Amino acid sequence: METHPKIALAGGGGAEDSRLLDEVFASWLGPRGRLLYWPIALGGLRPFQACFDWIRALFLPLNITDITMWTNLSEHRAGDLEAFDAVYIGGGNTYYLLSQLVESGFDRSLKAYLAEGRAIYGGSAGAAVLGKDIQTVCHLDSNDIRLGNTSGLNLADDHDIWVHYQANDDAMIEAYVREHQRPVLAISERAGIVIESAKIRAAGFESAYRFDGQTKQVIREFS
């Protein structure tokens, strides 16, 4: 049976900023969908109970009520993912988040999970780790853990993900693309990107962009 992996990428704004993208994501789950929430990137930065209260308030109006939170990946196995229809990876420190995914092996598990046709939502740091490399966040996050290998999960069609995008980032992004020879998807706090059926499209209040070293392209539907 053919499967259709689904990825939602948010630039990192508040609940109202991401509403259009959240609606798409909620439509994938349906009212009986089982959502797994990872606020791991916020470890030590915000109480996890506050994170859970936030995610429940975000999705309750969208009829998503079956939400489970994991705060420590080492306590779980890859097979535990099978109980859920989608995973929501929240924001925080991208270097710390990637280190936790790699150390636990859930970087590989998420790839297999997505290949089964499940859905993954990445917000801010959660979006950046789904790209090919997370060096796009070096101007935002501190690498206090001295993470050496910054390779991401590469679930966004060989793109790096630039979150919290602003128009004055253009020169920095163009220099990044030239240096690393990888295209970039740039997402503002009020923008969103959906990757579904091998196509990339926008889902937000503001435009999202693709930088390829030659052009800055407004994302409507790129495949």
Query: 194 has which bridge partners?
Result: 8, 201
Query: Which segments of the chain does DSSP mark as H helices, in order?
Result: 19-29, 48-59, 94-104, 106-115, 125-128, 170-180
The segments of the chain whose pLDDT lies below 50 read 1-2, 222-223
Q: What's the pLDDT at 223?
A: 39
Domain of residue 106: give its range.
6-222
Convert 155-165 to b/e letters by CB count within 10 Å (16 or more is b): bbbebbbbbbb
Q: Identify the CA nearest to 216 among candidates 190, 183, 188.
A: 183
Asked if the structure places residue 48 within a domain, the reply is yes
Number of domains into which the chain is organized: 1
Is residue 1 situated within a structural domain? no
pLDDT score of 44: 75
Residue 190 belongs to a domain: yes
pLDDT of the residue at 170: 98
In a domain, 115, yes or no: yes
Task: Give CA–CA dist 213/99, Å, rounded.
Answer: 29
Q: Is this prediction's pTM over 0.85?
A: yes
Residue 173 lies in a domain: yes
Please tell me the predicted confidence (pLDDT) of residue 1.
40
Instruction: Output the domain CATH number for residue 28.
Output: 3.40.50.880
Q: 217 in a domain, yes or no? A: yes
Euclidean distance between CA atoms 174 and 134, whole angstroms = 16
- For residue 203, tell me if it sits in a domain: yes
Question: Is 136 among the domain residues?
Answer: yes
